[in-house]
Chains A and B, each alone.
Chain A
């Protein structure tokens, strides 16, 4: 069944054409001004993010509770008829131990995160990932800390394993992180073994490429990369990834270098934001 709704009875062709042209021009202007490495949040976006991000956070956290419920209650229903009170008690205790172990692991993880980069003179703010970007071609994470928690635009985001990205957009209680996998991300990096310079750029769901490495640089597969500290965003010495493929064409002055980030982005739960004082 198709429903066609007429909002204005008179022939509105001129108004329609005018509005189409105006909105087209406005959107073209918006597209030309769009910066895909940093964005100042608008009042409207701030309201929408602040209103919806808690629900995103709730949905993400709900998964843990649902998993726990299914693993430890629903799947045990059939066997519970055979178990006596004592066995139930044992299960409850086992569940409690499991929860405590999970908490201990989380505690350890968080402690490691906070200890990480003690030598870096930046304030460290712990945050949890609460959502991803709505479109799959952009590799952006939403975290549950914002400007009210002291986070600033372009702050570096890391874990104990290495670099995650930088703060792209800020609201009061939430921030969007442009990850190093995003094609709009650029990181000045050096190969630790040879001290060769290059620019790391996002390439795919799990790989980055290193650009502008001259053909004469003796880099090898397995070499590790760290941030060079140039560019005024990332501090020096943060682990970026490991080279997994090098292609030297018979022409050109650079080589094609692929690397795998030191972080498994699929399993990313907590991050640390390094804020410049």
Chain B
């Protein structure tokens, strides 16, 4: 894949992230959805981790998290750590992960979000030393992660279009 194409695709991905962050932080509250705010940065990082085969993936994750940190006080570090761990877990399994149907995509995304939640919560617990915070996070995470998982086939299709390469360089799943 040419470097120009990589940069264009990544910039479009970041643009999508910014749009989704604005939807989450301004549009949802504007229509009265204050309690739950699905975090779409996870979805984008999961897409990159599952679909991209590149050694600079951790840098992509870091950049996505840096943009995300402008919209949350959580910052970039916790998510970057969780994202890289996910990336290391997914790496060896990549050839087994065929997102052939929306249902499988939903299940895999939900499963990886659970891993993300566990990794980030452990880190937050060490940092904040507050178990109640983790419990509260879990009850928010549950519905939000389900929303993200349900949305994932649609967003993965969109991101597939953004990252699409010439046909001879693509591996098309069953």
Contacts of B62 in A (CB 8 A): 23, 26-27
Contact of A134 among B6, B71, B164 (CB under 8 A): B71
Contacts of B55 in A (CB 8 A): 7-8, 12-13, 15-16, 19
Per DSSP, chain B at the interface is helix
- Is residue B123 contacting chain A, with contact meaning CB distance below 8 A? yes
CB-nearest residue of chain A to B171: A4
- Is residue A234 contacting chain B, with contact meaning CB distance below 8 A? no
- Let me know if B1 and A138 touch, CB within 8 A: no
**Given A5-B53, A15-B55, A23-B61, A55:B67 Cβ within 8 A:** no
- Let me know if A20 and B81 touch, CB within 8 A: no
**Given A131-B26, A136-B36, A5:B136 Cβ within 8 A:** no
Instruction: Return A214 CB to nearest CB of chain B, in Å.
Output: 21
Contacts of A57 in B (CB 8 A): 26
- Let me know if A134 and B68 touch, CB within 8 A: yes
- Let me know if B30 and A7 touch, CB within 8 A: no
Between A7, A130, A203, the greatest number of chain B beta carbons within 10 A of the residue's beta carbon is seen for: A7
Contacts of A60 in B (CB 8 A): 26, 29-30
**Given A3-B165, A6-B53, A135-B72, A56:B34 Cβ within 8 A:** no
A130 to B163, CA, bound (A): 33
B37-83 contacts to A, CB under 8 A, are 37, 39, 41, 51-59, 61-62, 66-78, 80-81
Between A13, A39, A138, the greatest number of chain B beta carbons within 10 A of the residue's beta carbon is seen for: A138
Contacts of A6 in B (CB 8 A): 1, 53-54, 169
A166 to B6, CA, bound (A): 41
Contacts of B136 in A (CB 8 A): 137, 183, 204
- Let me know if B160 and A136 touch, CB within 8 A: no
Contacts of B21 in A (CB 8 A): 52, 134
- Let me know if B127 and A2 touch, CB within 8 A: no
Q: How many residues of B contact A (CB 8 A)?
A: 74
- Let me know if B29 and A132 touch, CB within 8 A: yes
- Is residue A124 contacting chain B, with contact meaning CB distance below 8 A? no
CB-nearest residue of chain B to A50: B70
**Given A5-B163, A32-B127, A131-B26, A20:B84 Cβ within 8 A:** yes
**Given A27-B84, A183-B132, A138:B140 Cβ within 8 A:** no
Rank and list the top 9 A-B pairs by shortest CB-CB distance, nearest first. Answer: A30-B77, A2-B173, A7-B54, A48-B70, A134-B71, A16-B55, A23-B58, A12-B55, A56-B26
A residues near B (Cβ < 8 Å) are 1-8, 12-13, 15-16, 19-20, 22-24, 26-34, 36, 39, 44-45, 48-49, 52, 55-57, 59-60, 62-63, 130-138, 140, 142, 168-169, 176, 178, 183-184, 203-205, 265-266
Question: What are 20 A-B pairs at a CB distance below 8 A?
Answer: A2-B98, A5-B165, A6-B53, A7-B53, A7-B56, A26-B77, A30-B75, A30-B76, A30-B80, A31-B75, A31-B78, A44-B66, A52-B71, A132-B25, A133-B25, A134-B74, A135-B37, A176-B73, A183-B128, A205-B35
